Structure 1
Amino acid sequence: MGHLTRNQIGILMICLGTGLITLNDMMFKALSGDYALYQIVFARSLGGLMFSLIILQIEGGWRLLRTATPWQHAARAMMVVVANMSFFLAIAAMPLGLVSALFFVAPLLITILSIPVLGEQVGIHRWAAVGVGFAGVAVMFVPELLGQGLGVPGWSYALPLVAALSYAGNQVMTRKLGVTSRASALAIYIQVMFLVVSIASCGVLGQGQYAQGITNESLVFLLRAWVWPAPGDIWVFLALGLNVAAIAYCLSQAYRMAEAGVVAPFEYVALPLAVFWGWSVFGEIPGPFTWAGMVLIAGAGLYIVWRERKSRKRD
C-alpha cells in the first residue's frame, strides 16, 4: 500500500470494516433462531477480546490499558453495548435491510446531539437534511399504517432507532472526550463490558424461565435459555470473535489514517450489503416503502457529511 495516500488507505479500511459489520449482522441473524442473544454476544466478545489482546501486545503491551478516565470509558462502552443489543434484537424479528436503514438515522442524531453537548452551530441546510432523513423513517412506517406491515409490535421498529441513538451518543462522547487511547485498548474496554453484561444476564436469564409462552421473536431471542452450541455452529461463533476484532481494527485505522469527512460517506456501503445478505441468505426483499425510506435516510446522511466537510474547509 506504499503508493496509496492516507485517505485512500482509510477508504479501503472503512469499506472492509463496513463489509465485515454486515457479515457480523448476518451471522447474528442466522444464529438468533437457536441461541440466546447474550450467549452469542458472550462467545463473540470472548473471541474478540483474545484477538484484541494479541493486537495490544503488538502495539505496545499492557501499559496501553492505563487510563485516567475509567468511568468515562465505561460509560462509552455501555453505549456501544446498548446500541449492539438493540440492533441485534431488531434483526431477530425484522428484515436486515430495513433494520440497517433505520439504524442509519445515527448521523442525523449526531447532528442534533452535537448542539447541546458540543456547542456546535447547525445551519438551515443540515436541519433540512435532518428533516428529510426523519421523513424517510416515517415512510417506512406506511405499510404498518396500511395494515400491510411485518406483523411485529410497534416497539420492534423502535429498537434500531434506540441503537442509532446509543451509537450517536457514543460518537459524540468520543468527540467530547478526545480519546487518545490506542485502538486495541479501546476495543478491549468494549469487549470487557460486553462480557460483564453477558455474564450478568446469564445469571438472571440463562435458564430460559422467562421465555415461556412468549412468541415475539425479539423477546424470545433475549430470554431463551443458554445451550451448548451444535458442532457446526462452533465455527460460526469463532468466526464472530475474529470478525469483531477485525471490525474494531479496520474502523479505528480508517479514522486514524484518513480525514473523517472523507471516510464517513463510505459507511453507507453497509446498506446495499445488508440488503444483499438479507436477500441471499434469508430471502428478504425490501418493499417500495423500505427502498424509498432508505434513499431518503442515506441521502440526508450523506448530505450532512458533505456539509460538515465543507464547513471545516472554510474554517
Structure 2
Amino acid sequence: MTSPATPVAMNDAARAIGFILLAMLAISVNDMLIKFLSGGYPLHQMVFVRSCIGICFSLLFLKLEGGFHLLRVDRPALHVLRGLLVVVANMTYFAALAVLPLAEATALFFAAPLFLTLLSIPILGERVGPWRLGAVVLGFAGVLVMLRPWQGELDVPRIVLGLPVIAALTYALMQLLTRKLGVTAKASAMAIYIQGTFLVVSIGFFLVAGDGRLAEGLENESLVFLLRAWIWPEGRDVWLFLALGASSAVIGYSLSAAYRAADVATVAPFEYAALPLAVLWGWLVFAEWPSGPVWTGIALIAGAGLFVFLRERQKRRPVALRARVRRRY
C-alpha cells in the first residue's frame, strides 16, 4: 500500500486509450460539422455556441467528480496558457478545414501526436525507447506520403496548408501542459478552463468582426470563414449547433482524462484513429475519396500506432515518477 507521502504516477494505459479513442470519435464528428456549416456561418459563432453548450456539460461532469471547489487549481496561469494554446490550435485548424478536404486537413494536423512523443522526452523527461521512436519515424513517413510533398502545383494557397501545422505544434504544447497539470487537476476542471477561454476569444471576435465588415472584399475562404457576419441558425442547423456543443464537451473531458491517465508516448499514437474517421466522414458527407498515396499513408500511420500499443502492453511496467509530478490522495 502506498503512503500518502509517496508520489505515484498515473499510468493506466487501458483507461487512457479508451478516453483518447472516444475523444477522436467526437473530434471527427466536430470537424465534419464545422466543415459542413462553414459555408454559411462564421467560425467564431460556431466556437461561441459549442463552448456555451460544452461548458454546461463540463460543469455537470465537474459536479459528478466532486464539486465546484475543484476549479481551484495550484497554477492558474498555466491553465490559462493551456487554454490559449488550444484556442490557437482549434482556430487555425478550423480555418484550414473550410478550404482543405477533410482527410487532407486531418493528415496535416497529424504532425501533432508525433511532436508530442518527441517533445515529451526533453520537456517531461519521459523515456521513449528505440522501438517506439522507430514507430514515430514510420508515422512521419505515413504523413509525408499522405501530403505528397513531391507534387509541384497545389490547388490551395500554401499559407492554408501551413495552418494545420501551426495547429499541430500548439496542440502538442497544450497536451504537454495537460500532462504536467493533470496529476493534480480533474479532467472536468481542465475542460472548463478551456471552454471558458474559447468563450472569451469568440466574444472578442464578435465585438470586432461580428457585423461582417472585415470580411467584405476578401477572397481567401479561410479568412471569410473567420470574419463573416453572425447569422442566427434555422431549421436543422439548430440541431447541428447543439451537436457541436455536445461534441465539444466530450472532447474537452476525454482528452484531459486520457492525458491524465498515462504518459504522452502511450496516448499520442492512438490519436491516429481520427484518420480513418476523417476519410469516412469525407466520403459520406462531402463525396471526398482519398487517392492511393493517402491510403498508403493511413496504413503506415495506423500500423505505427498499433505497434506502440503492443509494445507498451508487452512491457507492462510502472512509469517512474519525476520529482516534479505528484498525485494527491
Q: What is the TM-score normalised by the length of structure 2?
A: 0.82
Answer yes or no: is 1:215 the counterpart of 2:215: no
SS in 2 for 1:49: helix
* Letter aligned with residue 71 of structure 1: A
Structure 1 counterpart of 2:64, which letter?
I
Which of the pair is proportionally richer in helix?
1
Larger mean Cα displacement after TM superposition, 272-281 or 15-24: 15-24
Distance 1:37 1:247 in 2: 18
One-letter identity of the residue aligned with 2:28: T
Q: Percent identity?
A: 55
The structural deviation recorded for 1:13 is 4.2
CA drift at 1:216: 2.2
Shift of 1:117: 1.9
Which consecutive aligned stretches of 4+ in structure 1 deviate over 6 angstroms post-superposition? 257-262, 308-312
Matched, 1:99 2:105: yes
For residues 10 and 129 of structure 1, the distance between their equivalents in structure 2, rounded to whole angstroms, comes to 19
Gaps of 5+ in 2: 1-11, 320-329
Aligned Cα root-mean-square deviation (Å): 2.9
* Alpha-carbon offset, residue 206 of structure 1: 1.4
Tell me the amino acid that sits aligned with residue 276 of structure 1.
L
- Post-superposition Cα deviations, 1:104-154, rounded to whole Å, max 9, x if no partner, equal 22121113322432244656555554444444444344377343x4x2101
1:42 aligns with 2:48: yes
Q: 1:3 matched to which residue of 2?
A: none
Does the CA-based 8 Å contact 2:116-2:264 persist in structure 1?
no
CA contact under 8 A between 1:110 and 1:172: conserved in structure 2?
yes
Contact 2:182 2:259 in 1 (8 A): no
Residue 117 (str. 1) matches residue 123 (str. 2): yes
Correspondence for 2:38 among 17, 32, 40: 32
Which residue of structure 1 aligns with residue 317 of structure 2? 313
C-alpha distance after superposition, 1:132-191 (max 9, x if no partner): 4444444344377343x4x21012111221111111111222223454211211111000
Match among 168, 171, 181 for residue 164 of structure 1: 168
| Cross-structure match for 1:225 | 229
Unaligned runs of 5+ residues in structure 1 are 1-5
SS of 1:239's equivalent in the other structure is helix
* Alignment map for 1:136-151 (pairs within 5 Å): 136-142=142-148, 145-147=151-153, 149=154, 151=155
| Matched letter for residue 44 of structure 2 | Y
Q: CA deviation at 1:198?
A: 0.4
State the partner residue of 1:153.
Answer: 157
Shift of 1:58: 2.5
SS in 2 for 1:229: coil
Specify whether residues 124 and 261 from structure 1 end up closer, same or farther in structure 2 by C-alpha distance, changes over 3 A only. closer
Do the aligned partners of 1:264 and 1:305 also contact (CA within 8 Å) in 2? no
Give the Cα–Cα distance (whole angstroms) in 2 for the partners of residues 178 and 190 of structure 1.
13
Cα deviations by residue, 1:47-70 (Å, 9 ceiling, x for unpaired):
001111122222222211111211
**Structure 1 residues 178 and 246, CA gap change in structure 2 (3 angstroms):** closer
How far apart in 1 are the matches of 2:175 and 2:17?
19
Map of 1:183 onto structure 2: 187
Q: Which residue among 283, 288, 306 is the counterpart of 2:287?
A: 283
Residue number in structure 2 paired with 1:75: 81
Which residue does 1:195 correspond to in 2?
A: 199
Change (3 A) 1:263 1:112: closer
- 1:86 counterpart residue number: 92
- Structure 1 partner of 2:9: none
Aligned to 1:235: 239
* Contact 1:81-1:194 within 8 A present in 2 as well: yes
Question: What TM-score results when the alignment is normalised by the length of structure 1?
Answer: 0.85
- Structure 1 CA distance for aligned equivalents of residues 238 and 58 of structure 2: 20
Give the distance between the partners of 2:160 and 2:113, measured in 1 at CA. Answer: 21
Q: Is the 8 A contact 2:85 2:170 kept in 1?
A: yes
Q: Are the structure 2 counterparts of residues 87 and 216 from structure 1 closer, same or farther at C-alpha, using a change threshold of 3 Å?
A: same
Q: Match for residue 53 of structure 1?
A: 59
Distance 2:90 2:162 in 1: 14
